[in-house]
Amino acid sequence: MTTVRHSAPPDLGYILATLRFRWRSIVLPIVAFTILGGLAPLFLGERYISKATLLIDPPRLAGAGSDAVLTEEIETLRIVEQHALSDAVLTALAEELGGLGGLDETPEELRDRITLTTSGGPGRGAPGMPILAEISFVAPTADLALRATKQIVAFILSEQSAQRASHSGGTVAHFAAEAERLSWTLARAEERLSEFERQNQAALPDSLSFRRTQQAALRDRLMQLDMERANLDSAGKAESGGSEQLTKLRADRAALGAVLAPDNKRLITLDAQIEALTESPSGATPDTEFQIRSSALAKQQDELRSEIDALSLSIEDTPRIANQLSALQREVRMAERDFETALAKKNAAEASTRVERIDTDRYIAVLHPPALPEHSENPGQTTLAAIGAALGIFAGVVLVFARELFDTTISRPADLRASLGLDPFEVIPILAPRKMNRFSLHLPGLH
Amino acid sequence: MQTQPMQHEAPGFFDDPFALRSKDFAWSQLPTITLDSEILRTNAILTRRSSAESRHFDTLRSRTHRKMRAEGWRRLAICSPTSESGASTVALNLAFSFARQTDERVISVEANLGAPSHLCMLGQPTQNPSTIRLFEGQDDFAKVGVRAGPSLGMAFATHPRDDGSDILRNPSLSTSLKQLDAGFAPAITVFDAPPLLEGDAALSLLDHVDCVLIVARADRSTRREIDLAERLASERSNLIGIVLNGCRFA
């Protein structure tokens, strides 16, 4: 039994010859697809597209306002891309178009007819450039396409205007409230700083050197008082001789008075001497002045020591006070900075609001208004026929290769050799008779 | 398994001058037909005259003749695995080419009774009797055959018959063919046989021929058909080879 093997591998010549041989398999799909392409406009219907281009130009503010502008751009695009396709808009559009008897479709079907494309803008790699939003609507008639596009553009403009108005007021109010809050925070910080400085006025670091100088001066004064008191003590000792004699005479009088008679002369003499010493000014005045001056000096010394001790305590406490004071001052400075920032943002928002109020109509501008489409967007009959021909060529080639792939016939001697192991006894080519009708599909040599 | 092919006895007509004269007379008495060269060309019968177009058939003829002469074969069947493979065209071209090559007589017998086509391809009107009467032993070649040249005799099937298998299985076929050989002493008899895989008519005919050529149609005959036809032909006769007809890579 002969083993059946596969066909011989194809080469370029075989492929070209096969395409040439199977030309009917290519021509027939070409003809069929070309006819279908030519007849396609009869089944596709008309497609009119009305387009409008919106120019979205956000206000350009320097500094903190630029972030707000980018947010505004995103917000605007969100409005254009999402709100324009919302169910509310589409429902209104369906009622508008259906009411006029032109296009009776659901909002979902209308959504498929709307196309929104945006380009440019800082969010798309073109900083400083405005955003272009193109809106188009596909309808079976030119009038319907124009009306629908006008409706959509009108909605976008009104929606954006309302959104901008509410959003701008909200921004200013937000920054104003923030500034007020930070102002209160700053006042509280300043109040705490003042109270602290008032409570620790004697130990503030600003008066540290003064207090040290004052302490040194007080110590000098104390030393001076010490010296004055020492001099006073030495002077007092020199003047205290009369009083000691009086004391001795009184002691002797007391001792003799116990044993002698009162009229004893000796006692009378002692009494006269005592009386003389007692009545003498040098005997009583110097002692009293010494005591007064000594006590005054002692009092001054005590006061100086108290002052010096107080100064020492305040000087020792100054570093702690300085740290606390520095923290309070930092708190005040931060509050001041936050307050100034909020104030600047508030001012920027107010300025932006003023700009928008001036330029509201130009923030979203209709660059190209909706226009009545002049031609149907469907490709022409010639184009569709050409596309059909191209598809036919592709289908024909695929058909030929698929046919060859599953073909089990013998096409060439190599196939016979590969499948049956036999060389053909003779190979007779396709005969081309001279007088055969060239359009006849009949091939000779088949009987 | 290949059976032993039949070896048909060749008539020794050169040994008997009287018989030779008798055969010449019978041959000369065959009615002649006139062929239109343009019709022949239109139907791809290209070997009546030697030309560039006939070279493939002439090559096939030479190789076949060489093989038959070497083996002593005289009856050649041309068959195909299925119909419309070009067996009739090859058979007619071989017959004309054989007749052009040699002075010996060549006879073409149309045995594809199911789909006769020789008359149409040669541009001849329908005529009676048909080769069926020859196969059935009702008429001899002198009544059935015609001459298409000095050395080419032809017998045509005039009408299609569905019982070709029965006709070719008729026991009288062998006798009729022997009478043909005896009466006209053809050097080569070419039989246009029915398709091998469309009934057993071809197998019946192969029992009466010396060798067989299988004509496979390129891009039409499958590998399985050719393989099966080759095995059947080898079992019944001597297979000379497979002719790949209508090949676009020749």
- Model confidence pLDDT, tens digit, residues B139-151: 989 999 999 989 9
- Model confidence pLDDT, tens digit, residues B87-113: 999 999 999 999 988 778 999 999 999
Measure the CA–CA gap between B62 and B59, rounded to whole angstroms. Answer: 5
- Model confidence pLDDT, tens digit, residues B157-213: 998 998 888 999 888 899 999 999 998 999 999 999 999 999 889 999 999 999 999
Question: In Å, how far is A390's CA from the nearest CA of chain B?
Answer: 27
Question: In Å, how far is A42's CA from the nearest CA of chain B?
Answer: 41
Confidence (pLDDT) at A296 = 86
| Burial class of residue A323 in the structure, from the number of CB atoms within 10 Å of its CB (0-12 exposed, 13-18 middle, 19+ buried) | exposed
Nearest CA in chain B to A5: B223
Q: Consecutive 10-residue runs of chain A (447 residues): their mean pLDDT?
A: 57 82 88 88 81 74 51 64 72 72 72 81 62 84 85 79 67 83 90 89 85 89 87 72 76 82 81 78 60 84 89 89 91 91 85 63 75 81 87 91 87 88 91 50 43
Contacts of A431 in chain B (CB under 8 A): 44, 46, 53, 89, 246
Taking alpha carbons only, the member of B21, B6, B1 closest to residue B173 is B6
Measure the CA–CA gap between B6 and B235, rounded to whole angstroms. Answer: 11
H-type helices in A240-280, by residue range? 241-259, 265-279
- For A48, the enclosing helix (H) or strand (E) is strand A48-56
Residue B86 confidence class, pLDDT cut points 50, 70, 90: very high
Q: Which of B219, B220, B243 to mutate to test the interface with A (most CBs of A within 10 A)?
A: B219
Confidence (pLDDT) at B67 = 94
- Interface residue A442 vs chain B (CB under 8 A): no
Q: What is the DSSP string of B16-66?
A: -HHHHHHHHHHHHTSPB----HHHHHHTT---SS--GGGHHHHHHHHHHHH
Query: Residue A134's beta-bridge partner residues?
Result: A53, A117
CB–CB of A137/A50 below 8 Å?
A: yes
- Interface residue B223 vs chain A (CB under 8 A): yes
Indicate whether B7 pLDDT > 60: no
Confidence (pLDDT) at A180 = 87
Contacts of B85 in chain A (CB under 8 A): 446
Window 21-50 of A: residues touching B by CB (8 A cutoff) are: 21
H-type helices in A45-141, by residue range? 65-82, 87-99, 107-113
Question: In Å, how far is B62's CA from the nearest CA of chain A?
Answer: 11
DSSP conformational letter for B124: -
Taking alpha carbons only, the member of A418, A423, A442, A444 closest to residue A433 is A444
What tokens were used for A403?
């046919």
Secondary structure of residue B134 in the 3-state scheme = helix
Measure the CA–CA gap between A18 and A10, rounded to whole angstroms. Answer: 10
Indicate whether B233 pLDDT > 90: yes
Taking alpha carbons only, the member of A78, A72, A262 closest to residue A164 is A72
Residue B60, phi then psi, degrees to nearest 5: -60, -40
Taking alpha carbons only, the member of A384, A407, A429, A417 closest to residue A44 is A384
Window 39-58 of B: residues touching A by CB (8 A cutoff) are: 41-44, 46, 53, 56-57
What tokens were used for A328?
């309070």
Positive or negative torsion for Cα A91, A103, A105, A153 = negative
The verdict on a CB contact (< 8 Å) between B231 and A411 is no
H-type helices in B136-171, by residue range? 141-144, 164-168
CB–CB of A359/A69 below 8 Å?
A: no
Q: Which of B44, B223, B249 lies nearest to residue A408, judging by beta carbons?
A: B223
Q: How far is CA A63 from CA A68, A71, A345, A347, in A?
A: 10, 14, 9, 12
Confidence (pLDDT) at B5 = 43
Measure the CA–CA gap between B73 and B240, rounded to whole angstroms. Answer: 11
H-type helices in A3-52, by residue range? 12-21, 23-44
The verdict on a CB contact (< 8 Å) between B250 and A427 is yes
CB–CB of B87/B215 below 8 Å?
A: yes
Q: At what angle do helices B55-71 and B87-101 cross, to 10 degrees?
A: 70
H-type helices in A364-380, by residue range? none
B209 Cβ contact partners less than 8 Å away, ≥ 6 residues apart: B6, B75, B76, B77, B191, B193, B237
Q: Which residue has the higher pLDDT, A125 or B68?
A: B68
Q: At what angle do helices A65-82 and A281-363 cross, to 10 degrees?
A: 30
- Interface residue B228 vs chain A (CB under 8 A): no
Confidence (pLDDT) at A442 = 43
Determine what percent of chain A falls in helix, strand and coil, rounding each to the nearest 5.
70, 10, 20
Q: What is the DSSP string of B173-227?
A: HHHHHHHHHHHH--SEEEEEPPPTTSSSHHHHHHTT-SEEEEEEETTTSBHHHHH
Indicate whether B1 pLDDT > 50: no
What tokens were used for A84?
């324009």
Contacts of A445 in chain B (CB under 8 A): 44, 86, 89-90, 245-246
- Interface residue B25 vs chain A (CB under 8 A): no
